[in-house]
Amino acid sequence: MMRDATANVEAAHQGAIETTRADAEAWTTLHPAIVRTWQTSWLLLGVGLSLPLLAIGLFLMLDPPRWWYPVASAPAVLGAIAAATLARRRFGAWRFRREDALLAVRHGVMIRKETVMPYSRIQHVDVTQGPVARRFGLATLVVHTASADGHAVRIPGLRVLDAQALRDDLATRAGLFDPL
Amino acid sequence: MSDTSALEYRRQHPLALLVGMGHRLLGVTLIAGPMVLLNPAVRDVPEVLVPSVAGMLVLLVLLPAGLTWATQWFAIGHDALVVRSGVLFRRTRTIPYGRIQGINTAQSPMQRVLGLGSLRVDTGQQGVEAEAELPMLRWSDVLALQEELVRRRRPVVGGGGEAVPADGGASVVRPAPSGTVLATVSDRELLIAGATSAQLLVALGAIAGLVDRAGGWARMPVLGPLLRLLEARAGSGTAPDGGVIAAVFAAAIAGLAVLWVVGVVLTWARYRGFTLRHVGDTFVRTYGWLNRVSAVTPLQRIQALSWREPVLRRLVRYGELRAVSAGAMTVQVNGNQADVPTLVPILPLDRAAAAIAHVYPGLRVDWASATPRPDWQRPSRRTWARTGVAWSVRAVLTLVPVSFLFGSVTWYALWGLPLVWACTPLASHVRGVARDADTLIVREGGLGRETWVIPMAKVQLVHLRQGPWQRAIGTASVRITTAGIGSIADVVDLPEASARALVQEISGWLATNAKRG
């Protein structure tokens, strides 16, 4: 059932990428599976923090104070709340666009950030993949410049093949493949 | 890359061997000397010690110094400088001439006596491998080498690395055939620089804190009993606890005054005779009284200029001119790393303006005015409240740790907040942005200020940032960065439309001009 839903969304997204290729000016969104990826990682992080604290209360402390268990389970609860409320909005706020000479990226729910990166400034381009993202078949594209703030533009939530294609495209536009 | 086996390798000057041994001998003596002398058993059996001391000297002094000297080589290749070093782990570094960010030489008093000097080549990478050093060479060789490297340095064809656009440095002045003196700094100005350094503000703050706590100290948990004890030891039973406290204050203030004077003298000795010259397509800075330094920075490697006016220097109408490049800007003096001054440590406004005009000849900026250009854009007036709140939050966050040190009386400082709020229009009056053809001028600050001159061709990234409050009042902040270390220019709280227009303008310029050749 869920698999079908994912497949549908994927088909729709495929269309989106096609139109993007036709019209270089349009904004591209991330792959919708990034929502599940974020939800899973935040839940895992919350539970991963909470479980040891709960275990300490259960097995190591003789008489844990009354506030111990609520405090110990707070990370898991916060993770669940973030997963329920934030992931979808974050996905909605994330977009990027390839223009003639530059890559533009927009993201951020509370604090909105827009970054403009000329292709000519690209130093190198990486594709990385965390364990959760790998489970959902997603990868993150990291574009490095020589900028003084050490800022690298990261585009999460691309399907591996898309990420690789985008990496090659950016590298070509940046002239990184030019023969010396 | 050239064939490294065909290169003619050169070693450091043989005297470097002696200097290295001297350094190590000094270290060994300082550590082992007291241990030997303070041990009473040693005096009875001095004969036994002779072979072991000799062995120690060979192991800790002769051998390491000799091996270090024997394994350090360098060579001037066809298109790269090759430097070999390392005793156990051999390292060969190949530095293409086109990547060189700076060539700095230094000579300490000891080296001057021996006729030696050191050379450091800055490659613009960050981290351990950033620089290649040739610490002990004949001084004439150092100067010849510096000249040779400057001559061989030329841009790498085919891009890569720092991504200089085809017209990179178009706004930078054309090479001058012979050297032109751009700025010199007099002794009097160096004394002013030392006297108005930022540490003075901290010292004044500390004294104010001490005076503020004068009455409270005797009642404090640890310090109070300690002071009373001190008083009892002093034996002045007649005075109430004010006597000792006054003595402590006097000592503290005298100590700060001495530190201040020492700071002034050190600044003077460090920068004595500072001269900035424009030679060929490079900037050359020469300075120093004890340690003589000459630093060469290729003009093309300069990413941005910044005119800094910290509060105290602004009061006396002086400032500091900085040129940031991707290199770390350091020099090697006697085995210690010292920062090279960014460009000119202290200058009055008119001479700074002349120097900036020399680097960017087309630039039309009225540096003396609060509105440097007719198209100057200031932060929106709607941000006064936001600036006030931001400053208040910062004041409270500063007071929390301070109040732990000096007691709750510090919180009375919060009565000063209305004064801070009254000053917020000042910040929006100081800050702003303008564009002159291919150059951006960005001014940051409040009481002190910093003005950036950034050629569009050097811009790396442009960020637009909008928090919830900014969204509500319709403003946004823009951050412009280049590859120069620390060159992050913030245009805070522009009206949203202007901020977007600024980003559009920069990206439009980059789209048409910054295509890689």
- pLDDT tens, position by position, B307-326: 988 888 888 888 888 888 77
- pLDDT tens, position by position, B387-419: 888 888 887 887 777 777 666 656 666 777 888
Complex ipTM tops 0.95: no
CB contacts, 8 Å: A112 with chain B: 465-467, 471
pLDDT in tens, chain B (517 residues): 445 556 778 888 888 888 888 888 888 888 877 777 777 666 666 666 677 777 878 888 888 888 888 888 888 888 888 888 877 888 888 888 877 878 888 888 888 888 888 888 887 665 555 567 777 788 888 888 888 888 887 554 433 333 333 344 433 444 444 578 888 888 888 888 888 876 666 666 666 666 555 555 556 666 666 666 666 665 554 445 556 566 666 777 777 788 888 888 888 888 888 888 888 788 888 888 888 888 888 887 888 888 988 888 888 888 888 888 776 566 655 555 666 656 788 888 888 888 888 888 888 888 888 888 888 888 888 888 888 888 888 878 877 777 776 666 566 667 778 887 887 888 888 888 998 888 999 998 877 888 999 998 888 899 999 988 889 989 999 999 988 777 888 888 889 999 999 999 998 888 888 654 3
Contact B461 A147 (CB under 8 A): yes
Angstrom CA distances, A52 to A48, A59, A123, A141, B202, stand at 7, 10, 42, 33, 45
CA distance B505 to B517: 22
- Sorted by sequence, the CB contacts under 8 Å of residue B232 that are 6+ apart come out as none
Q: What is the DSSP letter of B15?
A: H
CA distance B325 to B304: 7
Contact A175 B463 (CB under 8 A): no
CA distance B150 to B179: 14
Q: Which of B466, B481, B515 minimises the CB distance to A148? A: B481
Å between A114 CA and nearest CA of chain B: 5
Minimal CA–CA distance to B424: which of B442, B445, B398, B441? Answer: B445
Å between A126 CA and nearest CA of chain B: 16
CB B419: neighbour CB atoms within 10 A? 8
Å between B93 CA and nearest CA of chain A: 21
Q: For residue B105, what is the enclosing H or E element?
A: strand B102-107
CB B158: neighbour CB atoms within 10 A? 12
Alpha-helical regions (H) of B360-495? 384-406, 417-430, 468-473
Contact A175 B516 (CB under 8 A): yes
Q: Answer whether B441's CB lies under 8 Å from B491's CB.
A: no
| Chain B 320-349, residues with CB within 8 Å of chain A CB atoms | 324, 326
The pTM (predicted TM-score) of the whole model is: 0.74
CA distance B135 to B334: 8
CA distance B51 to B412: 69
CB contacts, 8 Å: B512 with chain A: 101
Pairing of strands B439-445, B432-436: antiparallel
* Domains of chain B by start residue, with CATH: 4-74 (no CATH), 100-158+167-185+273-359 (no CATH), 193-269 (no CATH), 381-513 (2.30.29)
| Chain B 133-192, residues with CB within 8 Å of chain A CB atoms | 158-160, 162-163, 165
CA distance B440 to A86: 38
Tokens encoding B454: 């950034």
Which pLDDT belongs to residue B175?
42
Burial label, B186 (beta-carbon count in 10 A; 0-12, 13-18, 19+): exposed
Indicate the residue type of B141: D
Q: What is the architecture, at CATH level 2, of domain A2-173?
A: Roll (2.30)
Q: How far apart are the first and last CA of chain A?
A: 53
Tokens encoding B380: 């929106």
Tokens encoding B444: 């940051």
CA distance B307 to B354: 12
Angstrom CA distances, B51 to B47, B56, B134, stand at 8, 9, 35
Q: Answer whether A6's CB lies under 8 Å from A40's CB.
A: no
Q: Strands of B116-122's sheet, edge to edge?
A: B131-138, B116-122, B102-107, B292-298, B282-287, B275-280, B176-184
Angle at B357 between CA B351 and CA B358, to 5 degrees: 95
B483 touches chain A (CB under 8 A): yes
Look at the block and give the residue holding tokens 């270090």.
B68
Contact A145 B460 (CB under 8 A): yes
Alpha-helical regions (H) of A30-173? 33-55, 68-93, 131-135, 160-173
Q: Please tell me chain B's helix, strand, coil percentages from 3-state DSSP, rounded to the nearest 5.
A: 50, 25, 25
CA distance A152 to A155: 10
Residue count of chain B, please give it.
517
